[in-house]
Amino acid sequence: MAVNLLLGLQWGDEGKGKIVDVLTKDYNIIARFQGGPNAGHTLEFDGIKHVLHTIPSGIFHDKAINLVGNGVVIDPVIFKKELDNLNQFNLDYKSKLLISRKAHLILPTHRILDAASEAAKGKAKIGSTLKGIGPTYMDKTGRNGIRIGDLELSDWKTRYRALANKHEAMIDFYDAKIEYDLEELEAEFFEAVKVLKTLTFIDSEEYLHQAQREGKTILAEGAQGSLLDIDFGTYPFVTSSNTTAAGACTGLGIAPNKIKDVFGIFKAYTTRVGSGPFPTELFDNDGETMARVGNEFGATTGRPRRCGWLDLVALKYAVHVNGVTKLMMMKGDVLSGFKTLKVCTAYEYQGKKITHLPYNIEPENVTPIYTEMKGWSEDLTGMSDASELPKELNDYIAFLEKELETPITIVSVGPDRTQTIHR
Ligand code: GDP
Ligand code: IMO
Ligand code: MG
C-alpha cells in the first residue's frame, strides 16, 4: 500500500496541521518525519483551537495511529505540555501515540546552546525558535546524541551527564552571558522524561514496514517548509533538518518507491518568520492587511510573521524538489478585498530576467517581476463548494495551476476544519 506525504512549500506555517487533521479520516497512520517543537501546527474544530508541536496532527481522531518518527527531535518538557493539553480534553492518546526509539532527545543544554549561538551571531542571527533544534541535530550528525531508545537502558543518565557537561563547556566558549539554572531545568526535564516513558516506544521503521504489508494507509506529516530545508532552503537561514520529500524517507524509513502522492501546501500569499531573504516581502499597507486579516503570528513563538505576495519562482522550485503531485492552497479568504493581486513570476537577476531560484536571493541580488491579476471582494469563509468560488479566484487558481503544472485539489477558506473546499 502506498504512502502519501504532506509538506509545506514555503517558509512554514502554510496550514499543514489543519489539512492533516482534515485528511486523517482517510488514513490508518499519521507519521511526523522531521523537525521538533520549533513547529506549531494549528487545528481548529468545534470552536476550539489546538496547537501541536511534536505530536502529529491526526491525534484528535478516534482511530488513527499517530507516530513520531526517527527523524524528529523531542523535547520531553514540551512533549509533556502537549500531553497535558490532550488530558484537558479527556483525549485517550495512550493507545494511539507511538514514538520511534531512534528519535533524538533535546536536552535542556541544547536549548541554552541555541540561545548562546544566536546571541553570538548578533545581527546575523537565524531567528531560531530557540527550542534547541540546531544543537540537537548537530549532536545527531556528530554521533553524540541521546535517543528515545536509550531511555530504556540503565546507563543513560551517565551518558546524559557527560553530554551536558560538554555542552556547559561549549556554552562558556560562546561567552554570551546567558543566565540559566541547570539544576532547575534538569528537575523539570527528568520529571518530563518519566511521563514520556509511560508512552509506547517502538522500532518504527519495522512497524511501518509491517503496516504497509497489511495494506494500511499512511500519511507522512512534514514540519517547517521547503525553503527552510537544510539543503534546499535559504541557507544559513534555515532549520536543521530535511523538510522536503526526501526527509520522509530518512525520517521514517519509508522507501522512495513506496511514495505515491506528495501533497504540497502553500498560502495564497507568502509569509516568513525569523531572519533571511524574502524577495516578495511587503513593507506597505498590503503587507499589513495580510498580517492583520491572516492573523500572522507564529504559533510557537508568537512573533509577527513577515508577509508578501505569492512567489511562483520559489514555489515552482519547491514543487520540483518535492515532486508535488497535488497542491493545496491555504488562506484564500485572506486575499478577499484586494483590488489587484500580484504574483511574482520571474526575478531580475544580474541584469537578466530569470525564472528559476538562483543561489543567492538577497534583496540586492534579485528584484521580483510581477504579473497583476484582478482580485475578488466576496467573503469566502462561509463557502463550502467549489461552485461558489468567485470568478477572479478561479482565474487566480487556473493561473497558478498552469504555471506550476500541478492541480490545486483543496482551497482552504478559513482556519476551521469545515472551511475546506475540495476540487
Ligand atoms: P502549520 O505550521 O503549517 O501547521 O501552520 P500554522 O498553524 O503555524 O499557521 C497557519 C495559521 O493559519 C493557523 O493559525 C491556522 O489556524 C490558520 N489557517 C489555516 N488555514 C487557514 C485558512 O484557509 N484561512 C485562514 N484565515 N486561516 C487559516
Ligand atoms: P511549522 O512546522 C515557520 C524558522 C525559524 C527560523 C528558522 C530556524 O510550524 O511550519 P529553528 O528553531 O529551526 O532553529 O529556526 O526556521 N522556523 C519556522 N518558521 N514555521 C515553522 O514550523 C518553523 N520552524 C522553524 O523562525 O527562521
Ligand atoms: Mg506553524
pLDDT in tens, 278-308: 999 999 999 999 999 999 998 888 899 999 9
Alpha carbons 31 and 63: distance in angstroms, whole number: 14
- Sheet with 326-330, strands from edge to edge, namely 200-202, 97-100, 65-68, 29-32, 218-221, 3-8, 259-267, 326-330, 408-412, 420-422
Give residue 1's pLDDT: 64
Q: Which of 383, 404, 55, 413 is nearest to 267 (CA)?
A: 413
Q: Which of 350, 266, 359 is nearest to 308 (CA)?
A: 266
Known catalytic residue: 41?
yes
Give residue 110's pLDDT: 98
Alpha carbons 59 and 29: distance in angstroms, whole number: 10
Q: How confident is the model at residue 135 (pLDDT cuts 50, 70, 90)?
A: very high
Shortest-distance Cα residue to atom 26 of ligand 2: 274
Helix (H) or strand (E) holding 187: helix 182-196
Give residue 175's pLDDT: 82
What value does the mean pLDDT take over residues 92-111? 97
Q: What are the tens digits of pLDDT across the range 48-58?
A: 999 999 999 99
What value does the mean pLDDT take over residues 75-84? 98
DSSP track, 344-388: EEEEEETTEEE-S--S---TTTEEEEEEEEE---S--TT--SGGG
Determine the distance separating the centroid of ligand 2 and the alpha carbon of 40, expressed in angstroms.
9
Which among 13, 75, 229, 311 is annotated as catalytic? 13
Which among 21, 41, 311, 333 is annotated as catalytic? 41
Instruction: Find out whether 379 and 333 touch, Cβ atoms under 8 Å.
Output: yes
Give residue 146's pLDDT: 98
Determine the distance separating the centroid of ligand 1 and the alpha carbon of 219, expressed in angstroms.
19
Residue 96 Cβ contacting ligand 1 at under 6 Å = no
Q: Which of 29, 21, 34, 23 is nearest to 244 (CA)?
A: 34
Q: How confident is the model at residue 177 (pLDDT cuts 50, 70, 90)?
A: confident
Give residue 344's pLDDT: 98
Give residue 314's pLDDT: 98
Q: What are the tens digits of pLDDT across the range 210-242?
A: 999 999 999 999 999 999 999 999 999 999 999
Helical ranges in 14-155 per DSSP H: 16-23, 76-88, 108-121, 133-141
Alpha carbons 67 and 58: distance in angstroms, whole number: 9
Higher pLDDT, 298 or 82: 82
Please check the confidence at residue 141 and state whether its pLDDT lies above 90.
Answer: yes
Q: How confident is the model at residue 126 (pLDDT cuts 50, 70, 90)?
A: very high
Please check the confidence at residue 256 and state whether its pLDDT lies above 90.
Answer: yes
DSSP track, 189-218: HHHHHHHHTTSEEE-HHHHHHHHHHTT--E
Shortest-distance Cα residue to atom 15 of ligand 2: 128
Q: How confident is the model at residue 376 (pLDDT cuts 50, 70, 90)?
A: very high
Average pLDDT, the chain: 97
What value does the mean pLDDT take over residues 129-141? 98
Residue 334 Cβ contacting ligand 1 at under 6 Å = yes
What residues flank ligand 2, with Cβ below 6 Å?
Answer: 8, 11-13, 35, 38-41, 126-129, 131, 133-134, 223-225, 228, 237, 239, 273-274, 299
Q: What are the tens digits of pLDDT across the range 329-340?
A: 999 999 999 999
- DSSP 3-state of 32: strand
Determine the distance separating the centroid of ligand 1 and the alpha carbon of 103, expressed in angstroms.
27
Give residue 298's pLDDT: 87
Q: What pTM was estimated for this model as a whole? A: 0.97
Residue 267 Cβ contacting ligand 1 at under 6 Å = no
Determine the distance separating the centroid of ligand 3 and the alpha carbon of 273, expressed in angstroms.
10
Q: What ligand 2 atom has the least distance to the C-alpha of 222?
A: 2
Q: Give the mutation target among 110, 224, 272 for probing the ligand 2 site: most ligand atoms within 8 A of CB.
A: 224
Q: What are the tens digits of pLDDT across the range 7-44?
A: 999 999 999 999 999 999 999 999 999 999 999 999 99
Instruction: Find out whether 79 and 191 touch, Cβ atoms under 8 Å.
Output: no
Instruction: Find out whether 220 and 262 touch, Cβ atoms under 8 Å.
Output: no
Residue 56 Cβ contacting ligand 1 at under 6 Å = no
What value does the mean pLDDT take over residues 347-359? 96
Shortest-distance Cα residue to atom 14 of ligand 2: 128
Counting ligands in written order, the one closest to the CA of 14 is 1
Q: How confident is the model at residue 388 (pLDDT cuts 50, 70, 90)?
A: very high
Determine the distance separating the centroid of ligand 3 and the alpha carbon of 105, expressed in angstroms.
21
Shortest-distance Cα residue to atom 11 of ligand 1: 15
Alpha carbons 14 and 224: distance in angstroms, whole number: 9
Determine the distance separating the centroid of ligand 1 and the alpha carbon of 18, expressed in angstroms.
7
Q: Give the mutation target among 125, 273, 301 for probing the ligand 2 site: most ligand atoms within 8 A of CB.
A: 273
